[in-house]
Structure 1
Amino acid sequence: MVPSWRDDSLGTMKRVALWLVAEVGEGGTFTKERLRGEFPGVSQVDRRMRDLRDFGWRIDTNREDAGLDSHEQRFVERGDPVWEPGRATRKTGTTAIGAGRRREVLQKDGHMCRSCGITPGEFYAGTYEGAQLDIARRDVVKPDGTKASELITECKRCRIGGKSVTADLDRVLKETAALSSTERDVLSDWVANDQRQFSRLEQVWSEYRSLPEDSRRRLRAELGLD
């Protein structure tokens, strides 16, 4: 039998998990104000809720779900039943990312999104929306076939769209080994500068790929393809 979230003998994290299941429901939204109102006098209830992510609970903010307001959160998916005996032991490698570690990752990533290259405050092309950077966890396939979770800097847009992305280091290393000496020299220059200059042709191709279908059709007609 699932205990009640109102049971004061349970720890705060367990009570919050039970409250999410009983009162919010998967897919439901709530605010920090509502959460704090349900647990009056309980210190750090926000942090205890965030701790649930270490046990497979998915609770999105507007960083992951652009449809949410800044004060809203969504209970997306239930994880481990932490209220059961022995299920609330923190798992290895899933500790929260501290401020110092965040600064270190940002610095090593050049303070830019490693998926699209945008920098903090820079406007997305064709918009007045400034980019916000955050630290995400990304699965990486190692050369021996094992998978590890590593930290990476991503912007809000890429973080939302890349939840299921897995990086394959083994494939990248093998493809690099297959390059010609000239290609390796070019790649070495890009890696050393952490930057690649795209040609005008490549930039037009990239912009074409981002156009809606009606606009893509216009360019195809311009090229005599339709």
Structure 2
Amino acid sequence: MNVPSWQDTTCGGKIRVARWLVEVVGEGSLFTKTEMREAFPGVAQIDRRMRDLRDVGWVILTSRDDPSLNSNEHRFVKQGEPVWVPGKGKAKPNTSLTATQRSDAMKADGYLCRSCGVGAGEPYSDERGTAQLDIARRQVKLADGGTETQLVTVCNRCRVGSRGEEADVTDLLKSVDTLGPVERKVLAQWVEADQRTYSILERLWGTYRTLPAQARESVKQAILGDSH
């Protein structure tokens, strides 16, 4: 079939903005709301048509998803369904979560991002913005061999990086079975507390790694000297 141009005014707004992203912007590139509106003068709700593309697999980030962007910028990350192909890009059934579902999922996750552990409103370690929590759907391979979609709490940064992720419970349990009694006991303590506790060795190693080269060398000599 002939692929329409983004300038073809006989096509709908969603098709035109999709083709504009592919032809003009390009995957991985930035664009602004102003540039998009100037490309489609007189086209009503072009912002909404662009947002509709996300429902069919198009990854378009905003400043909410990526703190490095300003409020007028977007990043076109990946093309989704080719909405210009007949039968493609149709609206999916309403899968919006209820407030109760969101609340229950966050409560079950301790109101923490299950990828990086940050809490709502907490600053990131690089001090670039604060975390906003949301609920994502994740495919989970179950121990009985089945697969189901489950809800998980993620922050705005981790949500971007974890799109399309799949959790494998069977693989995890197989790895647990390879642990020795001491390791399994430690893991059980972390699981029961839903929090990892660091040993003094791990804390010392972490501190050592942050030292400048000369300081590391002096500590290395002191430790190696003590060990001989």
TM-score by length of 1: 0.71
CA–CA distance in 2 between the matches of 1:9 and 1:105?
44
Q: Given the alignment of the two structures, is residue 83 of structure 1 paired with residue 84 of structure 2, yes or no? A: yes
Query: C-alpha distance in 1, partners of 2:206/2:95?
Result: 36
Shift of 1:107: 2.6
Give 1:31's aligned amino acid: T
Give 1:170's aligned amino acid: T
Q: C-alpha separation between the residues in 2 aligned to 1:128 and 1:53?
A: 25
**Aligned position for 1:167:** 167
1:21 match? 22
> Helix, strand or coil for the counterpart of 1:29?
strand
CA shift for structure 1 position 164: 7.2
Cα distance change on mapping 1:220 and 1:128 into 2, 3 Å = farther
Letter in 1 for 2:32: T
CA deviation vs aligned residue, 1:30-50 (integer Å, no higher than 9, x gap): 22344345264624x434323
The alpha carbon displacement at 1:86 in A equals 1.0
In the other structure, the counterpart of 1:67 is 68
Contact 2:14 2:53 in 1 (8 A): yes
User: What is the aligned residue count?
Assistant: 220
Shift of the 28–183 alpha-carbon distance from structure 1 to 2, 3 Å rule, reads closer
Alignment check: 8 A CA contact 2:66 2:157 kept: no
Task: Find the counterpart in structure 2 of residue 130 from structure 1.
Answer: 130
TM-superposed deviation, 1:73: 0.5
Return closer, same or farther for 1:65/1:98 CA change in 2, 3 Å cut-off.
Answer: same
Change (3 A) 1:127 1:67: closer
The offset of 1:180, in angstroms, is 6.6
Q: What is the Cα deviation at residue 112 of structure 1? A: 0.8
RMSD between superposed Cα atoms in Å: 3.8
Alpha-carbon contact 1:26-1:78 (below 8 Å) kept: yes
| Residue 53 to residue 129, structure 1, CA distance change in 2 (3 Å) | closer
Distance 2:126 2:19 in 1: 44
Identify the residue that residue 13 of structure 2 maps to in structure 1. Answer: 12
Q: How far is 1:188 from its partner?
A: 4.8
What is the CA-CA distance between 1:17 and the residue it aligns to? 1.0
Q: Between the two proteins, what is the percent identity of the paired residues?
A: 44
The 8 Å contact of residues 63 and 159 in structure 1, kept in 2 or not, is answered as no
Q: Aligned AA for 1:174?
A: K
Counterpart secondary structure, 2:18: helix
Match of 1:108 in 2: 108
Please report how far the alpha carbon of residue 168 of structure 1 lies from its aligned counterpart in structure 2 after TM superposition.
Answer: 2.6
Judge conservation of contact 1:137–1:151 (CA < 8 Å) in 2: yes
Aligned to 2:54: 53
**Gap change, CA 1:83 and 1:126, over 3 Å in 2:** closer
Pair 1:202 & 2:199 matched: no
Amino acid at match of 1:42: A
Could you say if the C-alpha distance between residues 200 and 150 of structure 1 is closer, same or farther in structure 2, counting changes exceeding 3 Å? same
1:165-198 per-residue CA deviation (whole Å, 9 max, x = no partner) reads 5433112222345557776665455434423333
Distance 1:118-1:26 versus aligned 2 partners, 3 A rule: closer
Following superposition, the deviation at residue 99 of structure 1 comes to 6.0
What letter matches 1:219 in structure 2?
R
Unaligned runs of 5+ residues in structure 1 are none
Cα deviation for residue 65 of structure 1 reads: 4.0
Q: Does the 8 Å CA contact 1:106/1:153 hold for their aligned counterparts?
A: yes
Q: CA deviation at 1:20?
A: 1.7
Secondary structure at the residue paired with 2:134? strand
Question: How many angstroms apart in 2 are the aligned matches of 1:126 and 1:105?
Answer: 27
Q: Return the TM-score normalized by structure 2.
A: 0.70
In structure 2, the CA distance between the partners of 1:129 and 1:48, relative to structure 1 (3 Å rule), is closer
> Which amino acid letter does the alignment assign opposite residue 220 of structure 2?
L
**Cα 1:2/1:217, change in 2 over 3 Å:** farther
Unaligned 5+ residue runs, structure 2? none
